[in-house]
Amino acid sequence: MGKLSKKSTVSNNEGMLSPYRVLDLTDQRGYLSGKLFGDLGADVIKMETPEGDPGRSLGPFYHDIPDPEKSLYWMGFNTNKRGITLNIKRKKGQEIFKQLCRTADFIIESFNPGYMDKLGLGYSTLSEINPGIIMASITGFGQDGPYKDYKAPDIVLWALSGLGFVTGDPDRPPISPGYPISYFFSAIQAVIGSLIALYSRGITGRGQYIDAVTLLGLAWATGPEVQGLWPTNKQIVKRTGRIWPRPQVRASGEVSYIDVPLIYPCKDGSVKFFPFVEPGMLPSTNGLTQWVVEDGMASETLQYVDWSTWNWQTVTQDAVDEIVESFSRFFMNHTKSELWNGAQERGIQLYPVFTPTDMLEFPQLTVRQYWEEVEHPELGDNIVYPGAFTKLSDGSCKIRRRAPLIGEHNEEIYFGELGLSKEELVLLKQDRII
Amino acid sequence: MEMDDTQMQTPPFEGINILDFTWTGTGPFSLNPLAFYGATIIKVESRERPDALRSLGPFKDGVAAPEQSYYFAYCQTGKRYNITLNMSHPEAKELVKRLVVWADIVADSYATGTMEKWGLDYDNLKKIKPDIIMLRTCMHGHTGPLAGHHGQGFILTALSGVDSILGWPDRPPAGAFGALTDFIAPQFNSVCLIAALDYRRRTGKGQYIDQSQHEAAMQLITPLILDYTANQRDLTPRCNRLDNAAPHGIYRCRGDDIWCAIAVFTDDEWKSFCRIIGQPALAKDSKFATLSQRKQNEDELDRIVEEWTVKHSPREVMDLMQAARVAAGVVADARDQAEDPQLMHYNFFEEREHPVIGKIPFYHGPCFRLSETPYEIGRATMIGEHNEYVFTELLGLSDEEWARLMAEGVI
């Protein structure tokens, strides 16, 4: 377990992006954007409606209590942010927002296209107030084009991107992640775009606008296996579940496939292994082969296979099936942890299929202090979080504070920084502006 | 926004130099966005052991030749120079030092051991260039017992939980299609690299970035990990269903293996949905009127949905539903994707000519658009394609010396 982070409720902005301020207007589609800025030290102000962000209604919940202050979804993706409430639909709220824009470097939002413009808070207006401002919008389909106003929940983007069609077992419908991940492919991209704009601002002195498009991020992630064979060979790649088909392309352009499993059941779960024989992967495949032979589980073909001359373009499915059969029997004879430990000793590229239980027990993550224990005084508890997304030499990528409570930093920011009086704050609260 | 032309045309990373020891997916994908916006990358390969993706198909004409891998081409759409160096040769190490002086960023994607063997670990790089930024990305990071562990993204999806969220509750997981962590991990690296460039510009300090691709990929399922650490509940696959929507799934359409996705969140959307499928009475049916009723009777609901969708093409379903403000989408195969009007609107996939592969249409740029700064994409390079330019023009070796190094197998 990682060290107890005593800094979870203390402001500490050291980090590569520490001079910068981010106004984070995103919902669950874009939380990760602001979090990455915060992880690198930026001062991220998460702005919520006075009743709390809609993403607070997403489960799972702490101790299964459905309460806006107990959403683990909210907590997980809003660390390293301060939180204020502001109703930007109201005129007074818009005035305050514009004031905050004067001292901000970045704005990130994930409303439907055109929403900020409709409120009079579009990029063109905000850049007049602060010409250096960099604004990123995270949407499913982008700010323009024939689908721009289409509804774009995770599953629809997953489907249209091409990932849906190729994911899942062949005898059942295609599947989407049981836990939505589509928008992460634009939330992180929005940060990349924003930082390029920042670097550019250092040259031009001007900010700009970033259109981060989930469909593009997911279409990129379908990769060349899907896209490579359609235009050239008119071949449609289908979903094959645990099997990974390796294409054999004839000179005529005709394509057939050799089926090789990637995921194999074992005694207490599943493991993932692929008999690559490409450079660097030969020792792994040889290592497993030798182990299977030692265990007396190898068929004759596997015993005498020479992986160094193996050619996926010419092998037959029968030969592969026979080898796979030996591997399968061998795996079923061992547990995940036996296979993992043996794989380590023998230099085999094999991974057990992990769920969080396995992750928390994985020694490598503990040694690297991946897990961070974050104080939640409001719950009277500490919760273990996945920590830094990367390790920097100065250790500055880390969790500095837990996710904010609703309006937790209203006073700090409105009174302390914007210079509003306590009386004004009370009025704003009564008027449901904050 | 108005700007003069010269400002608009200056790529922000012009003058930023990257010495690229990465290979396969994650490393190149990490660097591509910098190349799209003007960074100069020199990719270092060796003739003995070229980029592993050069031997991974699909291949042009099915021929497993180093310059014919679509997989390699797909990962190299950021413009690069390509040189060869035989790093076991002492003279190669001297040449590399000169390239480190040239570089602002040195990147590699090997497990611990390779860069160390070549004398190119961070401490050594710093001695050559004190403000160097080093990006290291590998399976498990460069500390801990697994620092030297070799692996790849096709199986890392297992350790990072990505496979476990892709499956049916009654079966072992189907898992991710392809090496999905190779598309997750690099995004974090691009973020870090650009932040490091800005940090160096302000402070003069370099940076060392040690990415474990495993740690990066797990970030996406943080709430599921918290469900375990706070509630002791382990992950179970839920397939296409979602707590706060019904119907929510992938439904069979007219034809063979043809599908569409539909997601209904609110009761208003449900009413629209019922109207479109010609069963307005369903909206008031006590089995389906509210979200909780629809969740309770979801199996029956899904059957009703599919009775309607099988009579339609996915395009019809999407158009009818979206026109009525109900979320739906075609489950696109490679052809649908290639012909998708939205992807085409963004000109996401572009054709480029490659000397060996010829024209292929799946080169791509960034997954976002900047309002003021254009991007530029390149084609995949060939092994040693730019040796002459880099060694003679950039490093200033004489033609004779260059020829000697070639003849002696240093480059």
- Tens digits of residue pLDDT in B115-153: 999 999 999 999 999 999 999 999 999 999 999 998 889
Give A201's pLDDT tier (boundaries 50, 70, 90): very high
Q: Which among B132, B243, B367, B383 is the top mutation candidate for probing chain A, defined by the most A β-carbons within 10 Å of its own β-carbon? A: B367
B-chain residues near A106 (CB < 8 A): none
Give A279's pLDDT tier (boundaries 50, 70, 90): low
Q: Which of B64, B2, B65, B14 is nearest to B39 (CA)?
A: B14
CB of A257 less than 8 A from some CB of B: no
Task: State yes or no: is B51 an active-site residue.
Answer: no
B-chain residues near A164 (CB < 8 A): 250, 259, 261, 331-332
Distances (CA, A) of A337 to A1, A249, A349, B141: 20, 38, 14, 21
Contact B366 A193 (CB under 8 A): yes
Q: Let me know if A9 is exposed, middle or buried by CB neighbors in 10 A (0-12, 13-18, 19+).
A: middle
**Which residues share a beta bridge with A248?**
A256
Q: Fold for domain A21-221+401-430?
A: Rossmann fold (3.40.50)
Query: Quick one: pLDDT at residue A155?
Result: 98
Distances (CA, A) of B375 to A223, B8, B304, B366: 21, 11, 47, 8
Is residue B309 a contact partner of residue B301, using CB atoms and an 8 Å limit? no
CA dist A73 and A190 (Å) reads 20
Query: Quick one: pLDDT at residue A212?
Result: 98
Residue bearing the bigger pLDDT, A313 or B366: B366
CB of B65 less than 8 A from some CB of A: no
pTM of the model as a whole: 0.96
Helices A282-294 and A336-346, axial angle in degrees (round to 10): 120
**Which residues share a beta bridge with B158?**
none
Q: Which of A49, A102, A158, A69 is nearest to A404 (CA)?
A: A69
CB of A221 less than 8 A from some CB of B: yes
CA dist A112 and A310 (Å) reads 52
CB of B245 less than 8 A from some CB of A: yes
CA dist B59 and A312 (Å) reads 11
Contact A178 B190 (CB under 8 A): no
pLDDT in tens, A226-278: 888 888 888 899 999 998 888 787 778 788 889 999 999 999 999 999 877 77
Amino acid at B88: S
Nearest residue, CB atoms, B70 vs list A179, A228, A262: A228
Amino acid at A182: S
Q: Which among B48, B155, B318 is the top mutation candidate for probing chain A, defined by the most A β-carbons within 10 Å of its own β-carbon? A: B155
Nearest residue, CB atoms, A164 vs list B172, B173, B261: B261
Distance from CA of B90 to the nearest CA of A (A): 23
Contact B373 A197 (CB under 8 A): yes
User: Collapsing DSSP states into helix, strand and coil, what is residue A154?
Assistant: helix
CB of B317 less than 8 A from some CB of A: no
B-chain residues near A253 (CB < 8 A): 61
Is residue A353 a contact partner of residue A270, using CB atoms and an 8 Å limit? yes
CA dist B85 and B266 (Å) reads 60
* Residues whose CB falls within 8 Å of the CB of residue B170, separated by 6 or more in sequence, listed in order: none
Helix (H) or strand (E) holding A162: none
pLDDT in tens, B243-259: 999 999 999 999 999 99
CB of B248 less than 8 A from some CB of A: yes
CA dist B408 and A396 (Å) reads 46
Contact A141 B342 (CB under 8 A): yes
Q: Fold for domain B5-219+346-407?
A: Rossmann fold (3.40.50)
Query: Quick one: pLDDT at residue B208?
Result: 98
CA dist A119 and B379 (Å) reads 43
CB of B44 less than 8 A from some CB of A: no
CA dist B57 and A249 (Å) reads 10
Q: Let me know if B339 is exposed, middle or buried by CB neighbors in 10 A (0-12, 13-18, 19+).
A: exposed
CB of B404 less than 8 A from some CB of A: no
CB of B283 less than 8 A from some CB of A: no
Q: What is the DSSP letter of A188?
A: H
User: Collapsing DSSP states into helix, strand and coil, what is residue A34?
Assistant: helix
Q: Which of B207, B208, B163, B167 is nearest to B184 (CA)?
A: B163
> Given B104, B108, B121, B182, which residue is catalytic?
B182
B-chain residues near A57 (CB < 8 A): 244
CB of A134 less than 8 A from some CB of B: no
Nearest residue, CB atoms, B156 vs list A153, A202, A351: A351
CB of B386 less than 8 A from some CB of A: no
Contact A242 B172 (CB under 8 A): yes
Helix (H) or strand (E) holding A321: helix A317-332
* Radius of gyration, CA atoms only, chain A: 26
State which residues of chain B have pLDDT below 50: 1-7
Query: Quick one: pLDDT at residue B9?
Result: 67
B238 to chain A: nearest residue by CA? A178
CA angle A284, A286, A287 (to 5 degrees): 60
Is residue B20 a contact partner of residue B104, using CB atoms and an 8 Å limit? no
B-chain residues near A225 (CB < 8 A): 58, 71, 177-178
Q: What percent of chain A has pLDDT over 90?
A: 85
ipTM here = 0.97
Query: Quick one: pLDDT at residue B8?
Result: 55
Contact A36 B188 (CB under 8 A): yes
Contact A208 B372 (CB under 8 A): yes
Nearest residue, CB atoms, A64 vs list B145, B216, B231: B231
Query: Quick one: pLDDT at residue B1?
Result: 42
CB of A291 less than 8 A from some CB of B: no
Q: What is the mean pLDDT of chain A?
A: 93
Q: Which of B48, B21, B18 is nearest to B410 (CA)?
A: B48
Q: How many other C-beta atoms lie within 10 A of the C-beta of residue A380? A: 7
Nearest residue, CB atoms, B70 vs list A167, A172, A224: A224
A217 to chain B: nearest residue by CA? B367
Does pLDDT of A10 surpass 60? no
Q: Which of A355, A245, A333 is nearest to B228 (CA)?
A: A355
Q: What percent of chain A has pLDDT over 70?
A: 97
Contact B141 A270 (CB under 8 A): no
Domain ranges of chain B: 5-219+346-407, 248-333
CATH architecture of B248-333: 2-Layer Sandwich (3.30)
Query: Quick one: pLDDT at residue A1?
Result: 35
- Chain A window 157-176: which residues touch B at a Cβ cutoff of 8 Å? 157-169, 172-176
CB of B126 less than 8 A from some CB of A: no
As given in the structure block, the two tokens for residue B297 are 């009777």
* Radius of gyration, CA atoms only, chain B: 26
B7 to chain A: nearest residue by CA? A204
B-chain residues near A182 (CB < 8 A): none
- A–B: how many Cβ contacts below 8 A? 533
